Every structure is written in C-alpha cells, then in structure tokens.
C-alpha cells in the first residue's frame, strides 16, 4: 500500500547459526548481561496459535520474535523494545530526494545501512507518487511536513506518544512538548500512519471498516507500533501477507486484537501492503509481498542504541 485514501514458508534470512529455532510454546534465548527475552504471553499464543516460534536478542532490551502459523496461515515478526533502557531510542529514516522513478524513496535496508547505530527498522508512513510522506514527518528534530493525521512521536527520555499532532503558529504540538518550525528541537522523531488502532486501551471507531472496507476488512500485509506503558515497552509488528501457503495478512480488527493481547494502550497502523518490511541484522527478516522483493518507501522507523540518549534531560 502507498496511500489508504488513494490508494509455504520462506525461511527467515540474515541470521545463519545465530537464529534460535523453538517449536515449543515457550522460548529461550541469550542476550547481553545474562538477560533472556521474555516468553510470549499466553494471550499472544492463543491468538496466533504458532506452529513454530523463533527468537533472537540484539543485546539488552531488544528482542525479535517470529511466529509461524502454517494453518491460518500467518507469519508475524515482532520487536520488543524495553524503554527503561535509556540508550534505546528511535530515528525516522528519511529517503533522500533524488531523480528517477524512485525519487524520494529508498529501501529500508538501504536506509539502515547509512546509519551505524540502527539495530532494526520497519517501513513508515504512506506516501504519494512523488515520494512524499502523507502525514507529519520530523527527523532529528527538523519538521519536514506537518499534516493532520495520526502519528508516532518520540524524543529521548520521554514516553512515546501516539495521536494527531496539532499546530500552534509555526510549532508542531505533541502532548507534553512542542517542536518549533523551521528551527526544530534536534531531538524529536515523528512518523505518521493511518488509522490509529487503539487509544488509552480503546479501539478507535470501527477501524475504518465502514469507510474503507477493502483496506480495513480484507487481509493485507501490515506494519504497526504499539506502546505498553505499564511495562514501558514499545512493540513493532510486521505481518506478512498476500502469499498463499506462507501468510495471508491481517485485517485491521485482527491487527488491533494482536495489539490488545500484547498489552498496549496506544497503537498505530503504518503503511502496509508491499511496503511492509522488517530489517534486523541489516537484512529483511520477513517476506515482502511484491514480486521483486523490498519496495522503496518514503521513510522508515528505526530502533537505535545510543548512549547519548541517556545524557538528555526529559
């Protein structure tokens, strides 16, 4: 997908011998400082009913889970980011503007390669044919676009926020802080999506089922983020789709159900369809649905480890 209003199992790549394959309901793994990624919850296992589960740690505070249900079929990819670790944070990866048919768009794996601190990343906002994000975008505190659409916002030592940003003159207003334009604040990262799935633990309307049934009620590849404030954990999710025998994708209500069993209060759907990709270990770990593989997109949302985040005051 690139604009919602206008618009047999493949083996996971990129891990080799480092991938721990687990076929029982409980998983284990090795991580930095002797920490083990927590096992999936009973609610998650009941919803997904995986026939196999893979887990990999990327050091303290970050774990990757892959669930395969060969009956449904579903293939799900999840990142669990522990935000009590001040060195873990987020960066919006902006595709460079250039010429040619892919102007303003790049593959997420290429964007990751240009930022040495990135541990993992997914595709971000829906985008126009010209390669412009449909919603608000702020990169390293610099607002590129401000639009009245749902968004994910973060800056160091602040909790993630999901909602629709407001304007006040030239400033972008986010609950708890503002970002002046054009100067920016050098800290804030914002990427948009559509629709907001959950707010304060409640589903937002009918999740576009009435207005956009083919977009919302049919199964498609999906990318989404959700924040669990009780655990101070951000979940980043990619669901493969449009691949019979591998994974059919999820409807937006199914995606909201997934977020609910993960325990999140706020959740946002990002661009999906052929754009859906998760890069971990420098390579896509999911199976993008386009026949030629990973699709160039306008931006991505990356998880980074940077000790500099810890020195920034809330």
The predicted-structure confidence for 21-48, as pLDDT tens digits, reads as follows: 332 233 333 334 446 889 999 999 999 9
What is the model's pLDDT at position 18?
A: 25
Q: Which positions ≥6 away from 17 have C-beta within 8 Å? A: none
Distant-in-sequence, close-in-space partners of 143: CB < 8 Å, separation ≥ 6: 136, 137, 172, 179, 181, 182, 184, 190
**Nearest CA among 244, 311, 305, 310 for reference residue 79:** 305
- Residue 52's pLDDT is what? 96
Q: What would the mean pLDDT of 162-187 be, rounded to a whole number?
A: 89
CB neighbour list of residue 291: distance below 8 Å, 6 or more residues apart: none
Mean pLDDT of the chain: 88
pLDDT above 90 as % of the chain: 76
Predicted TM-score (pTM) of this structure:
0.89
Residues 239, 253 contacting (CB under 8 angstroms): no
Per-residue pLDDT at 183 exceeds 80: yes
Q: So what's the pLDDT on residue 4?
A: 57
What mean pLDDT do residues 230-252 have?
Answer: 98
> Which pLDDT score is estimated for 20?
33
């Amino acid at each position: 997908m690139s604009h919602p209003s206008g618009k047999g199992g493949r083996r996971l790549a990129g891990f080799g011998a480092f991938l721990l394959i687990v076929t029982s309901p409980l998983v284990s793994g090795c991580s930095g400082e002797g920490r083990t990624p927590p096992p999936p919850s009973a609610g998650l296992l009941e919803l997904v009913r995986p026939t196999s589960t893979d887990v990999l740690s990327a050091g303290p505070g970050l774990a990757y889970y892959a669930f395969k249900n060969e009956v449904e079929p579903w293939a799900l990819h999840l990142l669990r980011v522990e935000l009590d670790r001040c060195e873990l944070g987020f960066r919006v990866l902006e595709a460079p503007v250039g010429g040619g048919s892919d102007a303003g768009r790049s593959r997420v794996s290429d964007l990751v390669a240009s930022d040495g601190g990135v541990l993992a990343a997914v595709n971000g906002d829906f985008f126009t044919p010209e390669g412009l994000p449909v919603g608000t975008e702020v990169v390293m505190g610099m607002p590129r676009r401000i639009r009245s659409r749902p968004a994910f916002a973060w800056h160091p030592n602040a909790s993630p926020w999901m909602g629709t940003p407001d304007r006040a003159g030239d400033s972008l207003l986010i609950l708890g802080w503002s970002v002046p334009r054009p100067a920016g604040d050098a800290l804030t990262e914002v990427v948009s999506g559509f629709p907001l799935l959950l707010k304060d633990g409640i589903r937002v309307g009918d999740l576009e089922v009435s207005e956009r049934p083919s977009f919302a009620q049919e199964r498609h590849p999906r990318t989404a983020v959700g924040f669990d404030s009780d655990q101070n954990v951000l979940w980043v999710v990619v669901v493969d789709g449009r691949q019979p025998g591998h994974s059919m994708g999820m409807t937006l209500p199914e995606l909201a159900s997934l977020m609910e069993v993960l325990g999140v209060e706020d959740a946002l759907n990002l661009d999906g369809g052929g754009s859906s990709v998760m890069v971990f270990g420098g390579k896509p770990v999911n199976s993008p649905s386009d026949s030629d593989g990973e699709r160039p997109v306008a931006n991505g949302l990356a998880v980074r480890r940077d000790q500099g985040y810890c020195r920034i005051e809330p």
